Structures are given as C-alpha cells and as structure tokens.
Amino acid sequence: MKIKSLLKCAFLLGILMYANLFQTTFALSSMEDEEPYHASLSTEVFTFERNKSKSSDFAHFFSVQQKVKESLITEEEKVVFANALFFDNESEVLKVTAKMGRIKLPVTKTANSYQSDGIFHSDAKIYTYSFPLSMVDQTHCETVQEYRDFKYLSPVYFHTFYAVERKIIQVKVPEWLEVEIREFNFEEGKVSKRTFEEKGGVVVHEFVMTDLEARKRETNGVGRSYELPHIMILCKAIEIGGVKQTLLASTDDLYKWYRNLVKQVENDPKILEKTVEKVTAQYSEDQDKIEALFYWVQDNIRYIAFEDGIAGFKPATAQDVFNKRYGDCKGMSNLLKEMLTIAGYDARLTWLGTRRIAYDYSVPSLCVDNHMICTLIREEERIFLDPTEKYCPFGEFAHRIQGQQVMIEDEDTYELAHIPELDAEQNKTTKKITLDLEGVMLKGQATYEYFGEAKVELHNAYHGTKSDKKEEALKHYLSRGDKNRRVKNVETKHFDDRKKPLFIQHDFELDNEVMEVGEELYVTIDYGKMFKNAEMEEARKGDYAFGYRFVDTFDIHFNIPEGYSVSYLPENLDISNSDFDFHIQFTQHDDRIEYHKKIAVKSGVIPKSSFEDWDKAIKSLKSVYDDRIVLKKK
C-alpha cells in the first residue's frame, strides 16, 4: 500500500494548523515519478588549471573545472530534459550545450538566486537548463563549471535523478598538485577503479559504475552522504616555485582557516555587559547563571540566517546579533560565548556537522560541518549549548546534533569531542487515560506527559501560535480535529518552564466508538490508532528518518459498565527488533480492562533493509486496531 499519510500520528496536527509550522511532518512518501529519459553514458571530468594569481591565499593559485558530458535517451515523444547546476560567488557555469548528431539544440537557460529552507539570504544560485530530447537519436549534453576556490568543491556522486547506464568519473591531477580522493559508500565490486598517467605527468584517477538507478531526494531521508557512493576531492598541497605549499591537508589546516575567520570577528563586550549583569543578577550559583544566559539567547534572538559568501563561515559580531536581535547559528553561538565569557566562564565556539552529514573531522573539507554551537568548559566537563534550539533545556541536545563529532576552539589549537547520544526514552510521551461508558458514549480523563524532543516540539508549536488561538489550537490538537472527540477542561503545566516535562490534562467525550447490537457492545478503546496505515511507500529507495528517536506509551484503564462482562478481547501484540518495538497488551480484571501500548522507534531511523519487517508490523498493528472488545450483558 502506498501511504501518504502522517506518520507519528498527527502529532501536532491541531497546533500546526494554526501555527503553520509544517516543517514537522512525518510523511512516509515522497518519490516522484521516474523521468522519461536516462543517460547511456555520463562522463564527469575534473581538471585543475593554474592561475596567475598574486593572492596570498594559495587557494586562488588554481581553479577546478568540472566538465560533464552525457548521452541522453528517451523512448517517448515530446520529452524535455531539464536539469540544474548550483553556483555561488566562488564558482561559475561556463558552458551548457546540447547536440543531436551535428545539430545544435536550443537550450533554455535561466539563473536565479536559490533559497533553501531556513536561509534568509545566501549567495547560492541555481542555473537551470532544458532542451528537447528526441526518440530518433541520442542527445549529447555538455556542461562546464568552474570553481575559483577548491574549498567549495562539493562531494561527487555517481547517481542522479535519472537512471544512468554507465557513469565515469575522472579526476585529472597535475604534477604540481597533491590531491587525495576519499571514497564513501563504495560497495565491494560495485565501483571499478584505475589510475593511469596522461601526457605531461597528469595522473588520472578513474571510477566507473554501471546500471545506476535514478535517485531523487526523498522526504525524511537520512542524507545521501550515508547512502550513495561518492568521492571527495581533497586538494592537499600545491607546488609553487618548487616549494610545496599546504592547502587543506589535514584537520589542523581546516581549523587554521576557521580560526583565521573567527579572529577577524571583533566582539565588543561593553555593549553586552549590562544585559549579562541584568540576566544573571538574581542568581548566585554558576549553574543558574549559565542557564539564564543560554535561555536568554534562545528566547531573545530570532534565527535568521545570512550565508552570503564568507558570511556562511564567519560569525557576525556578538554586538551585531545582540542589537539586531537576530542571527544565524554562528552569530547566536558567538553571542552566547561572549555573554558567558563576560560572566566569567570559559565558553568556546564549536563547529560540527548535523546528523544529515555522514563525515567527521578526519576529512579536511568544508563539507564536514554545517553548524556551530557554543561549548562551555567547566573543569573536565564539556557542556554543549545550541542556542538555535528554542526551548531546549540545559543538558539536553537536539537529536540532529546528538552523537556528532565537534571541533571546539582552543586558541590556535582545537579539541575534538562527541556530543552524547540520548536514548529514545529521553523523548518519551506518556498518555494515561481512564475511560467510562455512558450509554454508547465513552467519557475519558487523560493526562499526557511529554519529554525531550516531543516536549520541545510542542513548546515551539504552542508558543508560535497566536495568543488568541492557543486554546482553540490545543483543543484541536487533543481531539485531532475529530468531531467525535469533544475535549473539555484542558489544563496545562510547564509551558513556562522548559526544564520540566510538559503536562496536558483534559476530559473528553467520545462518540461512535461503541456499537450496541442486541445484548452486545462492540468497543474500541484505543481511539488514537497511532501508525495505522503507516506502511512505507513501495517506491521509496532510501532509509526513513523520523525527526528523532522516541517512545510513546499509552495506558488506558477502561471500566466495564455494570451488568456487562467481557466476551472477547483482541489479541496482544509483541513485536520487537533493533529498530522498533510495537507492544500491545490487554489485561482483563473483574471490573476493568487495562490496555497498555508501547511504540518505540529506537534509533529514529527505519533502514530500507527493515521496510519489510516494518510493513508487516504495521499490518499486525492495524489488525489489533481493527479488532473490537466485545462486552455481553450478564
């Protein structure tokens, strides 16, 4: 079955409806249709050219050209091939041509600025091009792109959004350049490699893959750097006038470059001193002061990212972020660091790649990180503070940075460490419900408790909702917009305290879940039916990543109405593997039925290899949901 529904139940549906925070969706779908064309051959060649640069930056002594030639085939009429190249201030698209035989085809080209999610402004641009394909013959397309600074070279993937019969990647390294080619996700025997020498001492590293299926971006993917084979071209050193000059040869060199940028940031502590004093004045304990400053930045600085050229790597000054009340991760971390420093603590800027990036700092490349946080150092303890994570309490970390390697600044040197991984229990949601039957209407009292990411998510949705809509949105969320479920007497606790678990208590009336026929009552007590119909989409090719790992428990205490006894209970369910647990247990007592359900996604990811197990488990889950308790008049 192809599922396009919400997954982790319609978790924030009610609130999201009002808050327009649709980024937190859990759709299991995403694959678009296959393209009506494929490439019989795709050759991607990287060459390096020396420039006559007088810059002191050795990066500008040479440029990198990426030339892609493809032979495209279609078996359908009226097919247009459309593709895009990305470029920015440090790169350029030099050529895009298409030919059929000797006939040059008209290519439609446009270049526009490219806005990715969450980035207010960047220098990223998108160059789209398209041309018609013919059934008669192959169409040959050639694109040439130039990188003026090798540091901005992206990883090179074999796969693209259409199928390719044979993909060849060649990296032609001249004598004057030292290049390391790092291989990722090369499965045994799938990529053939060879190295040979061309004229002029150019060493060619060639990689060939055949029969590549089309791979498109899938929603809730884990990140293609985990799944697809690719290479990274690391330019380590250049020979200038017979002298070898280091480029980015090691993690030390990478840090040196970052450090150089950070040194240019001139924070002015005077502007911040009064606020630091005011924020910390009421506290005497270090812990309280640190927390107060961490929360002040979370609460008072809006995340607005500018990634225009070097601004993508260099933090804005602390006073700039403070005055504007907005900044990106670097600016917010730099402000927090400066405020903590003013308060007398040892705080450091810290680089890291979020969970979507598969690399660690053993790779000397700008591709290894995409985020910055602040690390507080207290004796031997490293406390990681991410001020961009609104409502995240001190000592907890967002799933997206857990387990990631970090590079912590330390003057001219640095320290590598890891952010701890927290288990699924940290993000648990518990729901305790008592149900009574009144006629054929169920009346319930419910207490929901949220921890970790589940709590942060709800905080964000709630606080992002307009004041006059909060109550309505909360009711809508609790009833999941179901007319049959009337929510009353909602009480919440700790929306004003991110450190404590969130409580939501409410009463409700539930219609149409009980059917009376003759002397029998057919009753459904698990009205939420989390993950019903949540099978994976058949066409999905990659792992499915939830926003975080989690455990949700439901305990329903159903009081058997007087004069009735239980004549049938659905079967229990117990499925457990390394990726997920589905557990349902009905326990019958004289006067009540206890229903316990636990659903856990242990790592936050369902790997493709487990899809079959997952779908089977979902079917079993559904069959329990679709089985009713039968009560019979005594």
| DSSP string across 548-608 | S-EEEEEEEEEEPPTTEEEEE-PPPEEEE-SSEEEEEEEEE-SSEEEEEEEEEESSSEE-G
Given a contact cutoff of 8 angstroms between Cβ atoms, the answer to whether 310 and 126 are in contact is: no
Q: Is 507 or 511 the residue whose CB approaches another protein more closely?
A: 511
Q: How far is the CB of 499 from another protein (least distance, A)?
A: 19
Q: Which of 67, 69, 418, 469 binds another protein (CB under 8 A)?
A: 469
Q: Does 616 bind another protein (CB under 8 A)?
A: no
Residues 209-238 contacting another protein, CB under 8 A: none
Q: Does 278 bind another protein (CB under 8 A)?
A: no
Q: Is 21 or 208 the residue whose CB approaches another protein more closely?
A: 21
Residue 300 CA to residue 326 CA, distance in Å, equals 8
Neighbour-count burial for 350-383, b at 16+ CB within 10 Å, e otherwise = bbbbbbebbbbbebbbbbbbebbbbbbeeeeebb
Site string for another protein, 303-342 (x = CB under 8 A): -x-x----------------xxxx----------------
Tracing tokens 């911040």 back to the chain, one arrives at 272
Beta strands in 241-336 (DSSP E): 243-246, 302-303, 305-307, 326-327
Q: Which of 25, 89, 185, 512 binds another protein (CB under 8 A)?
A: 512
Given a contact cutoff of 8 angstroms between Cβ atoms, the answer to whether 176 and 50 are in contact is: yes
Q: Does 285 bind another protein (CB under 8 A)?
A: no
The 3 state secondary structure assigned to 501-516 is CEEEEEEEEECCCEEE
Q: Does 630 bind another protein (CB under 8 A)?
A: yes
Half-sphere exposure of 321 (CA within 13 A, CB side): 34
- Output the CA torsion 506→299→398→451 (10° steps): -20
Q: Does 437 bind another protein (CB under 8 A)?
A: no
Site string for another protein, 116-135 (x = CB under 8 A): ----xx--------------
Residue 7 CA to residue 220 CA, distance in Å, equals 11
Q: How far is the CB of 503 from another protein (least distance, A)?
A: 21
Q: Does 496 bind another protein (CB under 8 A)?
A: no
Give the single-character DSSP code of 296.
H
Q: Does 633 bind another protein (CB under 8 A)?
A: no
Q: Does 51 bind another protein (CB under 8 A)?
A: no
Phi, psi of 602, rounded to the nearest 5 degrees: -70, -40
Q: How far is the CB of 143 from another protein (least distance, A)?
A: 24
What 3-state DSSP class applies to 188? coil
- Output the CA torsion 209→215→221→225 (10° steps): 30
Q: How far is the CB of 45 from another protein (least distance, A)?
A: 34
Site string for another protein, 74-93 (x = CB under 8 A): ---xx---------------
Give the count of residues interacting with another protein (CB under 8 A).
Answer: 48
Q: Is 136 or 517 the residue whose CB approaches another protein more closely?
A: 517
Q: Which of 483, 489, 562, 609 binds another protein (CB under 8 A)?
A: 483
Q: Does 55 bind another protein (CB under 8 A)?
A: no
For residue 2, give Cα distances in angstroms to 477, 535, 544, 591, 630. Answer: 26, 7, 14, 41, 32
- Of 23-31, 47-55, 483-491, 493-501, the segment contacting another protein by CB under 8 A is 483-491
Beta strands in 329-395 (DSSP E): 346-352, 371-378, 381-385
- The radius of gyration of the chain from alpha carbons, rounded to an integer in Å, stands at 29
Nearest to 597 by CA among 555, 534, 569: 555
Q: Which of 40, 116, 192, 623 binds another protein (CB under 8 A)?
A: 623
Backbone angle region of 324, left / alpha / beta, with phi > 0 → left and psi within -120 to 50 → alpha: alpha
- Of 271-279, 341-349, 536-544, 624-632, the segment contacting another protein by CB under 8 A is 624-632
Site string for another protein, 146-175 (x = CB under 8 A): ------------------------------
Q: How far is the CB of 448 from another protein (least distance, A)?
A: 21
Nearest to 532 by CA among 621, 437, 416, 425: 621
Q: How many CB atoms lie within 10 A of CB 576?
A: 13
| DSSP string across 454-493 | HHHHHHHHHHTS-GGGHHHHHHHHHHTT-TTEEEEEEEEE
Q: How far is the CB of 263 from another protein (least distance, A)?
A: 24
Q: Does 634 bind another protein (CB under 8 A)?
A: no
Q: How far is the CB of 609 from another protein (least distance, A)?
A: 25
Phi, psi of 213, rounded to the nearest 5 degrees: -75, 160
- Of 82-90, 231-239, 243-251, 511-519, the segment contacting another protein by CB under 8 A is 511-519
Residues 17-46 contacting another protein, CB under 8 A: 19
Q: In sequence order, what are the beta bridge partners of 359? A: none
Q: Which of 58, 522, 564, 611 binds another protein (CB under 8 A)?
A: 522
Q: Which of 50, 192, 626, 633 binds another protein (CB under 8 A)?
A: 626
Site string for another protein, 542-581 (x = CB under 8 A): -------------------------xx-x-----------
Residues 355-414 contacting another protein, CB under 8 A: none
Interacting residue ranges for another protein, rule: CB under 8 A = 1, 3, 5, 19, 77-78, 112-113, 115, 120-121, 300, 302, 304, 306, 323-326, 463-469, 472, 483-484, 486, 511-512, 515, 517-518, 522, 524, 533, 567-568, 570, 622-623, 626-630
